[in-house]
Every structure is written in C-alpha cells, then in structure tokens.
Amino acid sequence: MTNLVLKLASLLVLTWSTLSLAHEPSPLQDFCVADFKSPVRVNGFACLDPNQVTADHFLFRGLNIPGNTSNPLGSFVNRPTVLEIPGLNTLGISTVRVDYAPRGVVPPHRHPRAAEILTVLEGTVLVGFVTSDPENRLISKVLHKGDVFVFPFGLIHFQQNVGENNAVTIAFLSSQNPGVIAIANTLFGSDPPINNDVLAKAFQVDKSIIKKLQAQFV
Ligand SMILES: *[C@@H]1O[C@H](CO)[C@@H](O)[C@H](O)[C@H]1NC(C)=O
C-alpha cells in the first residue's frame, strides 16, 4: 500500500516536473520587468519595483528597418529578447525579424526553449523541420507572402529565400530567451573544437573533410 502511494507520488512529481519544464512558468503578478542590476539569481531575472516600471521597459523600436544581408549567409536576424525588452521577463514570448537576400538562408538550427510561429511578410521562403518521432522525417513547404508556418518545440529547422527578390519574415517564439543552437557552428565551430576523429566517425567521412569544415567556422 505504502509502495503504491510512493509510486503515485513519484508519478505526480514526474508529471509536474515535465509540465514545468515544457513551458515557461505562468506569471504570478501583472508583470515582472527584469531588474538586470539585482544580484538575486532566479530562473529568469528578478523583478523591478512595479512603481519604477515605465512604458519603455515594454518597448523596442526599429523592427521595420531591413537588416544588412551582405554576409555569407545572405540573411540578417533581428531578435529582441528579454535582454532588449526587460518587460518580457516571465511572459514566455519574444519576436524575431529576418531579412533574406535572394538565396539567403537561416541555416539549420534549433531553439532549446521555444516553439516558433513564422509569417512571411515579403517574398517566397522555403522552410522545413525534421522530426524526432518518427526519426528524421522532413516536413517542408514553400511559403508565400501571408503564409504562416509552425516550428515545433526544440526541433531542427531552416529557412531559405527561394524567390527572386528580398524576403522578410517575422516570427514569435514561446520564450523570453529562446536560445539558438546553430547546428553547423555547434559541431564545427566549438571552442575548443570537438575531436575530429569523433566528427569523422559521426559523419563517416575523412578527417581532411572535417578539417575543411572546421576551418569555415573559426
Ligand atoms: C552591409 O554590410 C557590408 C559587409 O559588412 C558592408 O560592406 C556594407 O557597407 C553594409 N551596408 C550598409 C548599408 O550598412
């Protein structure tokens, strides 16, 4: 009997911890504007005194301004998180604008703390993500102006401008600080580098190919 109670209790704890890990916690007050000066360490940031909070804590300007896409990826990501908008603290949301030159790409990446919903404002954008169950199924689509697409929580996804003109997307993410793990940079640009025998085995190629890839990310 005690055993059963214990089992039930541990199941409840497990369910609860899974729930609390799946999403950012619900606010327990109107807002908790991040106080970057507070020495208190919590999950997120400590709250400013609500009487000191002003409209500027909830404001970010300039998301209408196109980013400079003259770079090897041909894209520019403007991603105001809680660090730029302190009023996002504890709310579990943030936004991102991406500009793309023709053929510009946001390379395969994942957000460890967020799902994402993306809208095409201008242009034609190929998007996709790869599932974990079933393993490695590609879910992909060519989007046009006004189309909306969802990238599920934590899965590897990518975007590319496949039109002839510039493209613009705006997206919303379910975290105040979604994080970005760019797959190529993580694997080939870590500091210090991952042992190239590990990578050569993982990719089933010669070490010289791994060295070439690593040279792209130093
Ligand atoms: C865009 O970036 C490129 C490369 O860094 C630079 O040469 C160019 O002046 C920039 N253009 C603008 C409009 O800032």
Locate the DSSP E strands across 51-156: 75-78, 94-100, 105-110, 116-122, 125-132, 135-143, 148-151
The angle subtended at Cα 79 by Cα 75 and Cα 81, nearest 5°, is: 165
Asked if residue 48 lies in contact with residue 34, where contact means CB atoms within 8 angstroms, the answer is yes
Q: For residue 208, what are the contacts with CB-CB under 8 A and spacing of at least 6? A: none
Q: What's the pLDDT at 20?
A: 47
Residue nearest to atom 6 of ligand 1 (CA): 70
Distance 67 CA to ligand 1 centre (A): 10
Residue 68 Cα: closest atom of ligand 1: 1
- Closest residue by Cα to atom 2, ligand 1, is 70
Q: Are 192 and 125 in contact (CB under 8 A)?
A: no
Show pLDDT as tens, one digit a residue, over the chain (218 residues). Answer: 455 544 544 544 444 444 445 577 788 899 999 999 999 988 899 999 999 999 999 999 999 999 999 999 999 999 999 999 999 999 999 999 999 999 999 999 999 999 999 999 999 999 999 999 999 999 999 999 999 999 999 999 999 999 999 999 999 999 999 999 999 999 999 999 999 999 999 999 999 999 999 999 98
Q: Which domains does the chain have, with CATH numbers?
A: 1-179 (2.60.120.10), 180-218 (no CATH)
Tell me, what amino acid is at 205?
Answer: V
pTM score: 0.87
Count CA within 13 A, CB hemisphere, residue 27.
18
- The two tokens of residue 71 are 């770079």
Distance 70 CA to ligand 1 centre (A): 6
* 119 CB burial (10 A radius; 0-12, 13-18, 19+): middle
The reply, when asked if residue 57 is annotated as ligand binding, is: no
CA of 71 to the centre of ligand 1 (A): 9
pLDDT of residue 218: 80
- How far, in Å, from the CA of 76 to the mean position of ligand 1? 12
Q: How many CB atoms lie within 10 A of CB 210?
A: 23
Q: Are the CB atoms for 168 and 111 separated by under 8 Å?
A: no
157 marked as part of a ligand binding site:
yes
Residue nearest atom 11 in ligand 1 by C-alpha distance:
68
| pLDDT at res. 16 | 43
Ligand 1 binding pocket, CB closer than 6 Å: 68, 70
pLDDT on residue 41: 84
Q: What is the pLDDT of residue 3?
A: 57
Q: Of all protein residues, whose CA lies closest to atom 3 belonging to ligand 1?
A: 70
| CA–CA distances in Å: residue 49 to residues 43, 90, 176 | 18, 15, 19
pLDDT at 27: 84
Which amino acid is residue 91, in one-letter code? L
Q: How many residues does the chain have?
A: 218
Task: Using the mean position of ligand 1's atoms as its centre, give its distance from the Cα of residue 66 in Å.
Answer: 12
